[in-house]
Each structure stands twice: as structure tokens, then as C-alpha cells.
Structure 1
Amino acid sequence: MVDLRPPANLVSRKAVLFWATRAAIGWGVVLAGEGVWLGLTGWSPLVVALVVTAVVAIAHLAVMPQWRFRVHRWETTPQVVYTQSGWINQERRIAPVSRIQTVDTERGPLERLFGLANLTVTTASARGPVQIHGLDIEVAQRLTQELATQTQATPGDAT
């Protein structure tokens, strides 16, 4: 069994830029909406809202990606998949290999741009799947193969 130390492996360093870019797109939409509203109405209190939004966005973009990178970790052993994730609400999950039902990778357009993938390990658990976000695509593919091989070699019915 795994002791309760943090999992050994960090996600890809490229995940920092990915998280920052994804957040910047979201903040850009909010700021653009506020800017259009200000342009259409000319209502001066919106200038304050726009400035406050910009300050919050800059703080979020400066802190969140690095913080998430320090927290997000993963590890696999022949017995378990162990993850730690989050940045405000942090969670550790340990899933026995004997309970794994499927192992999937997912890559959206932005992940493909950064050469990243997300790994989802579905288990026979009511808690839901174990996910590892921000892996290099090569690491995700290797890990998918390793977990599939370990799952097949592990006795049990994954229920």
C-alpha cells in the first residue's frame, strides 16, 4: 500500500502555460464583454469594474498556474494509481489497480497545441474516475499502456 506522502511525479511543466492560456482566454472573454458594455453605454462605473476585473485576472494568471503545478502530482505502482490535484480545494485519490475498468486519454484542441493529454482511470467506485491532467502526450500513452497491462495481469473482476 502507498503511504500518505505526496505522489512522486509532477505533471508536465508545459501544463503551467496551458493553464495560464486557458484562463487568459476566459478572462479575455469577460474583459471584452465588459469593454463592449462600457463602449455601448458609456456608464462610468463600468470603468471601475473593468479595472477590478483586470487586476483580479492578472493576479489569477500570476498565481494559479504555478500553484496548480506544485500541487498536481501522480504515481502508479503495480497495486495502485495515486493522484493529488486541485489548487484551492485539494484532493488525493488512491485507486487499486484491481478495481480499474477502463483507462482513457483525452486531448482537446488546446491540449494538442501544447502536446498534453489527460488520463482518466475509471474504477468500480461510486466516487468517480481518477484523473491526471497535464501529462506530456508520450507519458500519457506509456501510462495508458502500462495500466492496461497491469489491469489484465491483476486477478479480480474490477467490481
Structure 2
Amino acid sequence: MWHRGAVEPLDASDAPDAPVPPLRVAESVLREPAHRVSRRAVVMWTVQALVVVALLLAAQVVWWLVDDAPSRTPHWVVGVVWLAAGAAYAVAMPQWRYRVHRWEATPRAIYTQSGWLWQERRIAPLSRVQTVDLERGPVAQLLGLASVTITTASAAGPVTIHGLDAPVARELVDTLTAAAVTETGDAT
């Protein structure tokens, strides 16, 4: 739960040319959201990464077949680089995303943290929620997972939580929908 507090004023001793320190809200700390996504999300992200790697290797094979150059050395070099980079991606990315992805729903807002190289924290007030959607792709369905997308009246776009257990996702959709309906904001 977030705490409300007064904004502390800047010290009068701060020089005009000094960098402006961030505003501090008394007794408030932007912490990580409380809930992790399902551990099975690692499997889902690994499968998705392997699909990308397979497509890159398929493109490599097509290049091999259509190229009539006398030397195949560039093909081998590029193929080995793609394979090594793809293997590193398929192993590291899902684990890192799992460590970063978190979510939390409060009576007033939905709070998410996502990404792996580019990380993002978003807080969407329920008064701004326009739609709440549950999505399940083929891999997610096999693993019993789902994603929840919350569309808000924000230029930043929707908030999506990937890799939730399907029952948790359904409950979150029901809870957010009910809370958004009772919220008095205009969602615009």
C-alpha cells in the first residue's frame, strides 16, 4: 500500500546552478510490487525465445541455399554467431525477466514492473481504467498461463502483466473490472 505524505521543500541553501534533487514524499518509498508472475512464465519465455532463434537459423539456411558463392566460410561464421547469441538469449532472457516481472493490485491502482533490458514500473489508477482483457496464446494455454492487459486513458499505452497462472489472471480481471466500475473517475 502506498502512503500519502507531504512533499518536502528544497533547502534554501541549494545553489541555483546545482542539479535539482528529486522531490521526496514523506514516509513514501516506491517499492517493488508484491507479487511475482508464475514460475512457468520462464518456460513460456524460453519457448518464445527458441522460436525466434529457430526463425533466425531458418533464415541462415535459406541464405546458405540461395547463395552461390564459392566459399561457405561466411555462412559458418554467421551461423555460429547466431547460434551462440540465440542460445545465450534463450537461457538468460527468461530468467532475467522472471526476476524483474512483478505486479500488485490495490483498491486504488494497478502497479507493475516489467522488462528485461529496458525495465519499466507503471502505476495505473483504477479511475483511469477503460478495459481489462485476458489473453492466452497457444504456449500460455499449454502451460496454464495467461496475460492481463489493462487499457487506461494514458498516452503511455496499456499495462500488461504476462505469465500469470490462469486462475490468478481470471480473478485479477474480475477484481479490476469490479473496482473500475465502482470507481468515480471519468477514465478519459
TM range (shorter): over 0.9
In structure 1, distance between residues paired with 2:79 and 2:85:
10
| Higher Rg | 2
Deviation at 1:158, TM superposition (A): 1.8
- Residue 59 (structure 1) aligns with: 88
- Is residue 15 from structure 1 mapped to residue 44 from structure 2 by the alignment? no
* 1:33 match: secondary structure: helix
Deviation at 1:110, TM superposition (A): 1.9
TM-score by length of 2: 0.80
* 1:133 match: secondary structure: strand
In structure 2, distance between residues paired with 1:4 and 1:19:
27
Structure with greater contact order relative to length (CA < 8 Å, sep ≥ 6): 1
Deviations 1:97-129 (A, max 9, x none): 111111111112222122111111111112111
- Gap regions ≥5 residues in structure 2: 3-28
In structure 1, distance between residues paired with 2:48 and 2:78:
22
In structure 2, distance between residues paired with 1:83 and 1:8:
9
In structure 2, distance between residues paired with 1:91 and 1:154:
26
Deviations 1:40-90 (A, max 9, x none): 546222101111111101111111000000001000000110000000000
Deviation at 1:35, TM superposition (A): 2.8
- Is residue 72 from structure 1 mapped to residue 98 from structure 2 by the alignment? no
* 1:113 match: secondary structure: helix
Q: CA RMSD in A?
A: 1.5
In structure 2, distance between residues paired with 1:71 and 1:28:
26
Number of matched pairs: 159
Asked if the contact 1:107/1:118 (under 8 Å) is kept, the reply is yes
In structure 2, distance between residues paired with 1:32 and 1:125:
39
- Residue 137 (structure 1) aligns with: 166
- Residue 29 (structure 1) aligns with: 55
Letter of the structure 1 residue corresponding to residue 35 of structure 2: N
Q: Write 1 or 2 for the structure with the bigger share of helix.
A: 1
Deviation at 1:23, TM superposition (A): 0.7
Percentage of pairs with the same residue: 52
Deviation at 1:31, TM superposition (A): 1.1
- Is residue 124 from structure 1 mapped to residue 153 from structure 2 by the alignment? yes
- Is residue 155 from structure 1 mapped to residue 184 from structure 2 by the alignment? yes
- Gap regions ≥5 residues in structure 1: none
TM-score by length of 1: 0.93
Once superposed, which parts of structure 1, at least 4 consecutive aligned residues long, lie more than 3 Å away? Answer: 39-42
In structure 1, distance between residues paired with 2:66 and 2:158:
46
Please, which moves more after superposition, 128-137 or 147-156? 147-156
